[in-house]
Each structure stands twice: as structure tokens, then as C-alpha cells.
Amino acid sequence: MAMRSCAWNINHFEPSALQYDWHFAKMIYDHLEKNQNLTANAWSLFQQAFPGEQELNHHHLIRIPARHGQAAAELPSIQQWLSQLPFSHLSMLNLQGLCLRISDLMVLTNLPNLGVLLLRHPHGNFPQDLDDKSMRDWSRAVQEKSAFTRLRMVGIHHFSLSFEAVLKCLASYPALRLCTV
């Protein structure tokens, strides 16, 4: 009964409430994971309370289902959550099969802990709102905001963009080590 109560109210916990003993916190963590109730906030809470714990999964996958060719409607809420993570966490964001606009790319510049970014336009006859000018505008926004300071890898696939425009855009990313186009 106490386990269910802790699991049910996990979003009201503070990291300091969990730090007493990993043995008990692990039971709550395992219960949440087993029942597929480990939310992003709960995962972040355990990461803050037990940063060096070997038994704790230090990767958290969040799947947000969207239909192929749909707009990236969930991106602002994803951005809001990811921007609240401590800087000790790097995020990988994989946007596949969504019709992205320049406004979506601008939302991405607000992610301070983004380490990997993969963008893949859907196959088929879907509208392409991104063009070479969009890439220049995005590059300028990255420079002006001093964004993507931790971004090491970018993949941009199946967009109607010139190779030169994409490379010029990516050249402004300060920490970039690998890109796939």
C-alpha cells in the first residue's frame, strides 16, 4: 500500500526526499518502471537524487506518437520540459516524418542541453516549408542566441535544401562534430 502511494504521488516528491536510501527508492523506481508509469519528471527526480547510481537507467526514452506528415504540434511542450532538465543531462531529439516549419526550428534553439538532433522529412507528397532561406534564418538565430553550445551531432534528411545551404547553416554550430545530410 505504501509503495502504491509513493508511486502515485511521485510528482510531489523532491530529490531530497529520495536521497536517504537507494534500497527503498529503488523499489519505487522499479515499481514505476515495471508498470510503465515512469514519467519524464519522475525519471528526472531519480536522476537528481541518485546521479551516480549504477542500477538507475540514465537514459529515458519519450515517445510522442504522431501521424506521418503531421505538423510538429507537440514541439513547444517538449521544448519546455527539456529546457528544465539540469545541464548534467544531454538530450537526443529525433523528429521523423513530421512536416517542420521555420517556427519549429526556432523552438529548437531554446534547448540548452541538446546533444543530438535528427530531422527527417516524411517521404511522399508532403509540403516542404523549409528552404535555403529558412536555413540561413535558423543559422542566424543560433548565432544570435548563442544556442546549441552542446550540440555534437545533427542529421538533416529528405528536405528540399541545397547541400551548400545546409553546410553553411551547420558551420555556425559551435560544438558540432558530426553531421549527416
Examine residue 153 and state whether it is found in any structural domain, yes or no.
yes
- The CA-to-CA distance between both ends of the chain, in Å, stands at 53
Which triple of cell numbers denotes residue 181? Answer: 545530410
Q: pLDDT of the chain along its 181 residues, tens only?
A: 677 787 777 877 888 877 778 888 888 888 888 888 887 778 888 888 888 888 888 777 766 667 767 777 777 877 777 777 666 678 888 888 888 889 999 999 998 888 999 998 877 666 677 889 999 999 999 999 999 999 999 999 888 889 999 999 999 898 999 999 8
Q: What is the pLDDT of residue 71?
A: 75
Q: What is the pLDDT of residue 152?
A: 95
DSSP 112: T
Largest CA distance in the chain: 61
Examine residue 86 and state whether it is found in any structural domain, yes or no.
yes
Q: What is the pLDDT of residue 64?
A: 67
Examine residue 57 and state whether it is found in any structural domain, yes or no.
no
Which residue range forms the structural domain that includes residue 122?
75-180
**How many residues are given for the chain?**
181
Same domain, 43 and 112: no
Same domain, 88 and 151: yes
Examine residue 64 and state whether it is found in any structural domain, yes or no.
no
Number of other residues whose CB lies within 10 A of the CB of residue 169: 23
Same domain, 15 and 84: no
Domain tally for the chain? Answer: 2
CA 152 to chain centre: 14
Q: What is the pLDDT of residue 98?
A: 82
